[in-house]
Amino acid sequence: MSDPLLKVENLRVSFHIKSEGDMPWTKPRELHAVGGVDFELKQGETLGIVGESGCGKSTLARALIRMVPGSGNVVWMGGDNLLNVSKSKMMNYRSEIQMVFQDPLASLNPRMTVGQIIAEPLRTHQPNLGNAEVKERVKKMMQQVSLLPNQINRYPHEFSGGQCQRIGIARALIVEPKLIICDEPVSALDVSIQAQVINLLMELQRKMGLSLIFIAHDLSVVKHISNRVMVLYLGKVMEVADRNDLYDNPRHPYTQALISAVPIPDPEIERNKEIILIDGDLPSPLAPPSGCVFRTRCPKAQAICATTPPALDPQSDQETHLVACHFT
């Protein structure tokens, strides 16, 4: 069995927060954004990450590439911990790990042409390439993401949201990375355009042998594109499983509630299905609940949930299905 492309162990991200009215001598409070996440990603695999807004999905993605400071181990294939390597060595890894952001237009420089935007990673990571070769590679990449090469001198405001996201994908792929982190790449797009972008990512993944980390709110989209799915709540992993196993047999109460909210195309089944409602609001990461972080909203919560955090353990009937719950 080959080594994983990426192995994450006990990844934690926290921020020190001071309120506007705090005195200079007031001790900052600690905001726990990501609290001890573990997972592995194989070459060519897609890991979907789901959860409510504020659960730490985007912070987790940014911590993997050191856009925000984190602690723990993010071990890249070959053995280096990306959180500890020097800035110069991390620069080399940035050509192997690229990111596609949520807002397609905001992630593009409005003063640069499409050609300049897509070529920017090449200029940074492969400065020895000549102008003619850079232009040729940019045009080929534009064709791969269904953009016309004669649009190379246009500016981002001249494109639709879906086209801007294709530009962002082309920019990420131009240096031929091994891993693409997609941070809610279709949430700002219309449904029909979402399907086009998702299918494009899947096609490019097959052609280039990419691994993907795909973050989204829409569980139906995550099921379509992912091999495995990880459910986050308040910075903690609640459940990880193969997509079919997780959607057909969710074990954690939080996962069950999320999946029950996914619309079903059959109107008869949709009318008769049980929708599991979660009471209350997401707790503040400045003061997370003791024990299991989901216990304040969990219908199965008991005394042990307040005192003992549940371990993320494999199920007896499915070793690859991990659940963090005392009462699975």
The neighbouring-strand residues paired with 35 are 12
Domains with residue ranges and CATH for the chain:
6-16+29-251 (3.40.50.300)
Q: Order across the sheet with 236-242: list the strands.
A: 97-100, 179-183, 211-215, 46-50, 228-233, 236-242, 318-323, 313-315
Structure tokens at 262: 């996914």
Q: Judge contact between 290 and 307, C-beta under 8 A.
A: yes
**Radius of gyration of the CA atoms of the chain, in A:** 21
The letter for the amino acid at 106 is A
Tens of pLDDT along the chain (328 residues) come to 568 999 999 999 999 887 776 767 778 888 889 999 999 999 999 999 999 888 999 999 999 999 999 999 999 987 899 999 999 899 889 899 999 998 888 889 999 999 999 999 999 999 999 999 999 999 999 999 999 999 999 999 999 989 999 999 999 999 999 999 999 988 878 888 888 899 999 999 999 999 999 999 888 889 989 999 999 999 999 999 999 999 999 999 999 999 988 877 777 777 777 788 888 888 988 889 999 999 999 999 999 999 999 999 998 778 889 999 998 7
Q: Are 178 and 97 in contact (CB under 8 A)?
A: yes
Tokens found for residue 213? 């980390």
Per-residue b or e along 104-130, where b marks 16 or more CB atoms closer than 10 Å to that residue's CB: bbebbeeeebbbbbbbebbeebeeeee
Whole-model pTM over 0.85:
yes
